[in-house]
A = this chain, B = another copy of it.
């Protein structure tokens, strides 16, 4: 992004944030608790799972966020704190109040988050000890530790941070995320946390985050399963000293672009780390009767097990792709349908594109990353999703685990 330079630090790249990631032994022997704290109360915005079954932290965060203020986020991995009865909601509250006490701030400013196995009681003794450790370990350079502590089946941590200008002043945005298909082992939980030292109006921040999530985290799919714990939070503590960003601010588009860039990069990192994945695939539908139709078609293709296994095998099998569009619910006319693999035509007028050899299509599918572009030639609807192949390794990871 123009005018945007990469800086190190993740969520602690912006001014006034400290973070830590420690071993609370919820799932030893890995870091499994993270804490992010702003020096001052920050504007906050959030997006949460639309699953009707919700983790207890989601239930609590949805209430807390109404006030638009946060100062800390405390996260545990290894236990989803979901479907574990009324004690689960009490546990979420207690995570918040214990952290608040440790930091000497108001409870309503502390957002708890959990990821891990569903249906287990929260190990509150370990959580309590973990919160103490995490508070003691807080550091201006703690971003990377925090990013590691939220990993579950992730094989790499996922961070971004960069600097841009608002009102001529340097402003920083940092972020971290986790998610790799299904997580340790129950869920495809996706967690994302962004921090910025920009001063941003809470309502504008929510608007910006909602739009950015639609274009990033909501465009990725690994296995089609939606977690009951998915959460994205952004804090803006204002220490950069800019004039409060609202949608009217001259530099608002700059800030929006930066948030979009950060969420998109984190989303891509999640797909690239998809459980067992060997290919990164961009599925684009153009020319659909409507955007809604395009969305149905991209999702059907990206979640089709037949399509994903063909990608795994490097098989440029367009039959499975057109078939998935056919049952997606999107309007399609066979004789108008075009499919390209990267720039190469595979299907024209609903049949094999003339003059293109199978071996050329195979070359595209041999790439580590390629796109499938479907033009339905029916209207102006478009949609894009980012996904990966489905491999034997995915099945192994998810079948071999025992609760």
Contact = CB atoms under 8 A, between A and B. Distances in A.
A226 B324 CA distance: 7
B53 A320 contact: no
A368 to B, nearest CB: 16
**Residue among A83, A85, A318 with most chain B CB within 10 A:** A83
B313 A402 contact: yes
A51 B326 contact: yes
Interface residues of A, number: 68
Nearest to A324: B225
Residue among A305, A327, A396 with the most chain B CB within 10 A? A305
Contact of A51 (B50, B182, B312, B327): B327
A306 interface: yes
- For this chain, the copies found in one complex come to 2
A53 to B, nearest CB: 3
Contact of A352 (B84, B224, B320, B398): B84
A52 B391 contact: no
A188 B306 CA distance: 9
Nearest to A320: B186
Interface string A320-346: 101111110001101000000000000
Interface in A2-26: none
Interface in A213-228: 223-228
Nearest to A188: B306
A304 interface: yes
Contacts of A83: 319, 322, 334, 347, 350-352
B225 A85 contact: no
Nearest to A402: B315
A358 interface: yes
Contact of A395 (B309, B332, B349): B309
A305 B224 contact: yes
A24 to B, nearest CB: 21
B401 A313 contact: yes
A399 B400 CA distance: 20
Contacts of A322: 53, 83, 118-119
Given A51-B327, A52-B331, A395 B398 contact: no
B186 A305 contact: no
A225 B313 contact: no
A177 interface: no
Contacts of A53: 322-323, 325-327, 332, 334
A394 B403 CA distance: 23
B186 A323 contact: yes
A322 B186 CA distance: 11
A306 B225 contact: yes
A314 B399 CA distance: 8
A346 to B, nearest CB: 9
Contact of A327 (B186, B226, B306, B349): B226
15 contacts: A50-B327, A53-B332, A54-B334, A84-B352, A85-B349, A117-B319, A118-B320, A120-B352, A182-B320, A187-B319, A187-B320, A223-B306, A225-B327, A316-B403, A395-B395
Given A83-B319, A310-B399, A392-B392, 20 more contacts: A52-B331, A52-B332, A53-B323, A83-B347, A83-B351, A84-B352, A85-B349, A118-B323, A119-B319, A119-B351, A120-B352, A185-B317, A186-B306, A186-B319, A228-B323, A305-B398, A310-B398, A312-B395, A316-B403, A390-B395
